[in-house]
Amino acid sequence: MVIIMRDFPSCFGESGVQVAYSSSSSAAKAAQNLVTCVYQFQLHGRSCLITVTWTKNLMGQGLGVAIDDSANQCLCKVDIKPWLFSKRKGSKTIDVDSGKIDICWDLSNARFGSGPEPVEGFYLAVAFDQEMVLHLGDLKKEASKKINISSTPLSSDAVFIAKREHIFGKKFYGAKAQFCDKGPIHDVVIECDPFDLKDPCLVIRIDSKTVMQVKRLKWKFRGNHTILVDGLPVEVFWDVHNWLFGNAMGNAVFMFQSCISAEKLWTGDSAFDPSLLTWSSSQKLKDHHQVQGLGFSLILYAWKHE
């Protein structure tokens, strides 16, 4: 399954960041091991988005790539089914009005960790008119040869701007986070025991250091707090209502937003009101400079194992 911009949370615009919640009927489907990453790049002066979705389920690994322009119009997308039914290596060329887009991938020798994203031994590349736009993985020479680029790209033009991930646990929930493009990768651990009837507490640690603690969680099951990471302010929003008061398949939602104030994220009351939150992206990217000023958004769906 590929999630293009209209399905990804709108991290930009006047209405601020918006987060969706799965209904109980679709909770099992939504809880699959899934990571969605969004990259922004310039195409002939237009801000465009590349959405890369990695999935893992009983059928195997899956991959989706979609490219959207600033008007939220899908330029192209590629769905790579789980490995049992498709090849791990391939390419696709799409002609668009302004040129040619090449998408190529090789995951035949990819090595994976516990999540759906490959760790090493792979490449995923996107090029426009044989100019590298996005390169993921450690096989740079192979990607350049496939797209027929003479020089090995040391870096791509795309900027990593947003990530959504499903994480699982009983008391501890872990994820890797990069709060700015090409910045250091941090270990994020969320600790919470929603079954502590006396006084459930929420603790968030960055690289084993406690950066946030919320006591009396039954009264403060939604909120926001600013922490510092790499010397930069990062706004943390949380909603653990489903953990405390929902059904067994309920999930909590956490969002980490760097380089933007809460006043710009939310209009009116600063309370974290889930009734205002959707996965709609009616608010579009304005221009390159505005995107650069927004920093990075990380949204974590935390699912509890019984």
Interval 254-303: pLDDT, tens: 999 986 443 343 333 333 333 333 332 223 333 333 334 457 899 999 99
Max mean pLDDT range (1-15, 148-162, 237-251) = 237-251
Residue 298 CB: number of other CB atoms within 10 A?
Answer: 22
Instruction: Give the residue carrying structure tokens 């995951």.
Output: 107
Convert the pLDDT of each residue in 192-237 to its tens digit: 976 666 778 999 999 999 999 999 898 999 999 999 998 889 999 9
Which residues have C-beta within 8 Å of that of residue 231, sequence separation ≥ 6? none
SS3 assignment, position 239: strand
Kindly state the average pLDDT of the residues 17-42: 61
Do residues 240 and 192 lie in contact, with contact meaning Cβ atoms separated by under 8 Å?
A: yes
Nearest-CA neighbor of 187 among 162, 160, 163, 205? Answer: 205
71: tokens are 């008007």
The β-bridge partners of 56 are 33, 61
Residue % of the chain over a pLDDT of 90 = 32
Question: What is the rounded CA–CA span in Å between residue 182 and residue 292?
Answer: 13
Which residues have C-beta within 8 Å of that of residue 175, sequence separation ≥ 6? 165, 167, 188, 298, 300
The β-bridge partners of 129 are none
How would you label 79-92 residue by residue, b for 16+ Cβ within 10 Å and e otherwise? ebbebeeeebbeee
Kindly state the average pLDDT of the residues 67-74: 81
Which pLDDT does position 279 carry in this prediction? 30
Q: Pairing state of beta strands 297-304 and 159-169?
A: parallel
More confident residue, 69 or 274: 69
Question: Is the per-residue pLDDT at 175 higher than 60?
Answer: yes
Which residues have C-beta within 8 Å of that of residue 141, sequence separation ≥ 6? 152
Instruction: Give the residue carrying structure tokens 């991290």.
Output: 11
DSSP string, 2-29: ---GGGS---SSTT--------GGGHHH
Question: What is the rounded CA–CA span in Å between residue 178 and residue 165?
Answer: 13
